[in-house]
Structure 1
Amino acid sequence: MSTPITCFKAYDIRGELNSQLNEEVAYRIGFAFAEELSAKTVVVGGDVRLTSHPLKLALSAGLIDGGATVTDIGMAGTEEIYFATKHLGVDGGIEVTASHNPINYNGMKLVKAGSVPISGDTGLNAIKERAEQLDDAYVADRLEFYAKSAKIDADAFYAGKAHIATDILAESGQYHRHANMDAYASHILSYVDINNFTPLKIVTNAGNGAAGAALDALEKRLLEKDVPIEFVKVHHNPDGTFPNGIPNPLLPENRADTANAVIEHGADFGIAWDGDFDRCFLFDADGNFIEGYYIVGLLAQAFLDKDSDNKIIYDPRVYWNTEDIIENAGGTAIKCKTGHAFIKERMRKEDAIYGGEMSAHHYFRDFAYCDSGMIPWLLVAELLCTKQKSLASLVEERIAAFPSSGEINSKLQDADAALQRVLDKYQPLAEVIDETDGIGLEFGTWRFNLRKSNTEPVIRLNVESKGDIPLMEAKTEELLALIRAE
């Protein structure tokens, strides 16, 4: 290929439409994936973005020509691909998604057999090299063969019009569609005991993404079993134009619709998902957003309440609350470098039942050690019922005991110099120095973690204290002043 493919990142594929990612690139990725992994069976799915379907079909054409038989589960969230890859016993899985990225982007998340993640060092770079080396004339000829017309029009692709014909894919004998939602829904509900549920009203905000269909499948099962949960659905129907904005509840400006609906309907709590729903975000009955850090503690508690002889993995940005819960419940606390590939690898090594990150990624041993945005809210709902407490009451004590700043990003001209300024002042005074990820320093009643971005001149700061909000706030201001003193 005369032009390098630039949409490969450290852990996934993500790029601007047409300029970095189009049907030709998707075909190349599919072909290279099948060859590099010697994959004979691959499951594919796509989120609701208009370009996800055309990209998925071009990807499928490449997989077929690379020697694989493709199972297409249709519109799906990333976790549905994780589940299907293991459940169907195939050699790999690919979800076409840009998650919460801007509307002019798309991408892919790739896994091997057993839903083992593929990152740069474990196959992603090799797939990129194979994709780039594929002969241009061969790619053009194969795309023309699979296309409805010989002309691949960029504007039509951007509007979501697929050029690859599904009937031609099917004629190969290596492409078929498969409805996997029933098996997925059954597995998700296996994480809770439905007999524990008392009446609940829950606001759900799918953000017009892929979560709506999965929730409907779960709701159907719950109704069949007379589980007393009432759902109030906001922005529920899938819509690739995202009329209510790109679903990214991590941004404060995107939380109002969920919070307002919780208050308006007198709900017990609220849930909002990102586009491919591998993350979920929770709101209490007053519409207050609950930081992901404290949800990690809640989920650790949920698992340890059922069996204290379990290992819990957590990320090193903020962890005093998580460690306190795990230790008091008799579990084993294991700190791990931030990032899904690191968390999943460590969970497999330790056979940990659960892993959580403050960024709202939650990983489960029986879910192929992968992250899910549906399992967490079910576990929290069950916990509210068994404890007979509100979500606010479950977390407010923990927030008071271990207040945190949340992650604060600082974009700088020289991130290395800023990091050195902080280390020069604080490291000599630290009682504990933790280098699991970035630099973490402890000072008895407070601590902080500082991490540099791998892709931009940004430093990410997290500060927490032991029961002292003014101290946490003062140290946060002090550190930010030093970091930003350029």
Structure 2
Amino acid sequence: MTTLTCFKAYDIRGKLETELNEDISYKVGRAYGQIYKPKTIVVGCDVRLSSQSLKEALIQGLNDAGVNVLDLGMTGTEEVYFGAFHLDVQGGIEVTASHNPMDYNGIKLVRENARPISADTGLKDIQKLAEENNFEEVAQKGTTESYNILPEFVEHLLTYIQPEKIRPLKLVVNAGNGAAGHVIDALEEKFKALNIPVEFIKIHHEADGTFPNGIPNPILVENRASTSEAVIKHGADMGIAWDGDFDRCFLFDEKGQFIEGYYIVGLLAQAFLIQKSGEKIVHDPRLVWNTLDIVEKYNGIAVQSKSGHAFIKQVMREENAVYGGEMSAHHYFRDFSYCDSGMIPWLLVSSLLSETQQTLSSLVENMIAKFPCSGEINFKVSNTGTVIQRIFDHYAVQNPTIDKTDGVSLDFGAWRLNIRASNTEPLLRLNIELNASAAGRSLQSYVDEVSALIQA
């Protein structure tokens, strides 16, 4: 029996040919069909050169397991999520490697109503069956037909804004040659028809699986300059850049400055709570003070969840939360079946800019000044447990408030840290934030102090 190494905690991802190929993709489709026995599911793929053939193999596996497929063509992950809860289907699969290197690809799977399939909720069963390669024959094979989800998806996106309230805006949009461009084009047409005064300045717009401008991953500092420079050059109100399957968006203010995902969580919480107070907002434990401050200010209820989409979605469902946000730029919405979207956030922020009549920098400057943060710093370490214990022991004498929702969070009043081991790599991830009004030291001094302990 072959061990398949492409199965991860939340999805399937691997190096092409050695870890993921058409044969494995076929087996994934076959196993999904045999385990869940859906009548029909939606399938899409991103722009990578290998995605189309992996998708075709996957669909063949689904059909051979008796599953009918609506092929959505080239899509972002959230178009598959949307199809899975909007149409009369029982699941969805997207072939994508998002922001991984060129020689990788992957598969994201959901069940009915776009409920996630991760290691805890069925992915291990799919892996086991695919490895055993012991499939049942079905009496009737499934069919495949093409389906254009785009018009319905765009209509849904417009429900998050009040078109008549949008003031004139100039937006730089950077699809990174990934899958986002076709949605922006469709929204632009719709905006024109509705007389919404938004001008789009498009860079790296065409879908191109050779990624001539580099892998679309704006979380890397070196990938931000093109968006930032375009914002300044065109005097835009905001810059938006997406990763390859556009389930994450990254925002730049009118000065071309990149805004940490952490502060966007506060901004989106504000956008929802302005409309309706008392709603629940779910956040992860890595950086929390700004989110708690905003949610309290606008009369919401903050709920903490472990990081990771499967956990956030679960907590949101249990709490009926209107919105959930992670500092890693994943944003989840109740009206989007608790799924993450890279299109809804910038629409909400555009709405907030119009409503408050403020610039994006002025909306976030106070947050950043009040609660400056380090951003996530990664350390390669061989024994994550030993290092976390060392930090724990070192600071025990200061009697911090301890929280173990995800890794270890230590709160000292003037500053706090969260340290956690990566699910997928031998990495420690560190986040530090400061309460500027209480701290007598600089943020950098704390970062240096903890970094020295990690590397001791």
TM-score class, shorter-chain normalisation, is over 0.9
* Equivalent-residue separation in structure 2 for 1:355 and 1:187 (angstroms): 19
Question: Residue 473 of structure 1 aligns with which residue?
Answer: 444
Question: Residue 35 of structure 2 aligns with which residue?
Answer: 36
* C-alpha contact 1:278 1:373 (8 A) present in aligned 2: yes
* Equivalent-residue separation in structure 1 for 2:383 and 2:86 (angstroms): 47
Question: 1:173: how far off?
Answer: 6.3
- Opposite residue 482 of structure 1, the aligned amino acid is L
Question: 1:172: how far off?
Answer: 6.5
Question: Residue 193 of structure 2 aligns with which residue?
Answer: 224
* C-alpha contact 1:89 1:113 (8 A) present in aligned 2: no
1:242-278 residue CA offsets vs partner (Å, 9 max, x unmatched): 0111000000000010001001111011000000000
1:199-258 residue CA offsets vs partner (Å, 9 max, x unmatched): 100000000000000111111111100000000000000001101110000000000100
Quote the sequence identity (%). 57
Question: 1:431: how far off?
Answer: 3.5
The 10-residue stretch of structure 1 (123-132 or 203-212) with the greater mean CA deviation from structure 2 = 123-132
* Equivalent-residue separation in structure 1 for 2:388 and 2:335 (angstroms): 39
Question: 1:427: how far off?
Answer: 2.7
Question: Residue 460 of structure 1 aligns with which residue?
Answer: 429
Residue 347 of structure 1 pairs with residue 307 of structure 2: no
SS at match of 1:190: helix
Question: Residue 260 of structure 1 aligns with which residue?
Answer: 229
Question: Residue 376 of structure 2 aligns with which residue?
Answer: 407
* C-alpha contact 2:64 2:141 (8 A) present in aligned 1: no
1:88-143 residue CA offsets vs partner (Å, 9 max, x unmatched): 1211100000000001000000000000000112110001111122259x99xx9x
Residue 239 of structure 1 pairs with residue 208 of structure 2: yes
* Equivalent-residue separation in structure 1 for 2:426 and 2:440 (angstroms): 29
* Equivalent-residue separation in structure 2 for 1:252 and 1:15 (angstroms): 24
Q: RMSD of the TM alignment (CA)?
A: 1.6
- Opposite residue 63 of structure 1, the aligned amino acid is L
Question: 1:67: how far off?
Answer: 1.2
* Equivalent-residue separation in structure 1 for 2:2 and 2:314 (angstroms): 34
Question: Residue 6 of structure 1 aligns with which residue?
Answer: 5
Q: 1:172 to 1:130 in 2, by over 3 A?
A: closer
- Opposite residue 100 of structure 1, the aligned amino acid is H
Question: Residue 160 of structure 1 aligns with which residue?
Answer: none
Question: Residue 162 of structure 1 aligns with which residue?
Answer: none
SS at match of 1:236: coil
- Opposite residue 476 of structure 1, the aligned amino acid is V
Question: Residue 445 of structure 1 aligns with which residue?
Answer: 414
1:415-447 residue CA offsets vs partner (Å, 9 max, x unmatched): 222212111111342331111101001111111
Query: Could you list the runs of 5+ residues in structure 2 that have no partner in the other structure?
Result: none
* C-alpha contact 1:70 1:174 (8 A) present in aligned 2: yes
* C-alpha contact 1:403 1:469 (8 A) present in aligned 2: no
Question: Residue 127 of structure 1 aligns with which residue?
Answer: 126
From 206, 213, 235, the counterpart of 2:182: 213
* Equivalent-residue separation in structure 1 for 2:397 and 2:154 (angstroms): 52
Question: 1:470: how far off?
Answer: 4.2
* Equivalent-residue separation in structure 1 for 2:399 and 2:83 (angstroms): 47
Q: 1:173 to 1:338 in 2, by over 3 A?
A: closer
- Opposite residue 8 of structure 1, the aligned amino acid is F
SS at match of 1:290: coil
SS at match of 1:355: strand
What TM-score results when the alignment is normalised by the length of structure 2? 0.97
1:168-218 residue CA offsets vs partner (Å, 9 max, x unmatched): xxx966110001100000001100111111110000000000000011111
Question: Residue 294 of structure 2 aligns with which residue?
Answer: 325
Question: Residue 303 of structure 2 aligns with which residue?
Answer: 334
* Equivalent-residue separation in structure 2 for 1:430 and 1:184 (angstroms): 50
Q: How many pairs are equivalent?
A: 453
- Opposite residue 480 of structure 1, the aligned amino acid is S
Question: Residue 153 of structure 1 aligns with which residue?
Answer: none
* C-alpha contact 2:114 2:339 (8 A) present in aligned 1: yes
Question: Residue 168 of structure 1 aligns with which residue?
Answer: none
* Equivalent-residue separation in structure 2 for 1:447 and 1:135 (angstroms): 51
Question: Residue 86 of structure 1 aligns with which residue?
Answer: 85
* Equivalent-residue separation in structure 1 for 2:119 and 2:382 (angstroms): 27
SS at match of 1:302: helix
* C-alpha contact 1:26 1:55 (8 A) present in aligned 2: yes
Residue 384 of structure 1 pairs with residue 361 of structure 2: no
1:318-363 residue CA offsets vs partner (Å, 9 max, x unmatched): 0100000001111000010000000000000001000000000000
Residue 17 of structure 1 pairs with residue 20 of structure 2: no
* C-alpha contact 2:66 2:142 (8 A) present in aligned 1: no
- Opposite residue 216 of structure 2, the aligned amino acid is P
Q: 1:340 to 1:64 in 2, by over 3 A?
A: same
* Equivalent-residue separation in structure 1 for 2:397 and 2:23 (angstroms): 54
Residue 67 of structure 1 pairs with residue 66 of structure 2: yes
Query: Could you list the runs of 5+ residues in structure 1 that have no partner in the other structure?
Result: 143-170
What TM-score results when the alignment is normalised by the length of structure 1? 0.91
* C-alpha contact 1:15 1:107 (8 A) present in aligned 2: yes
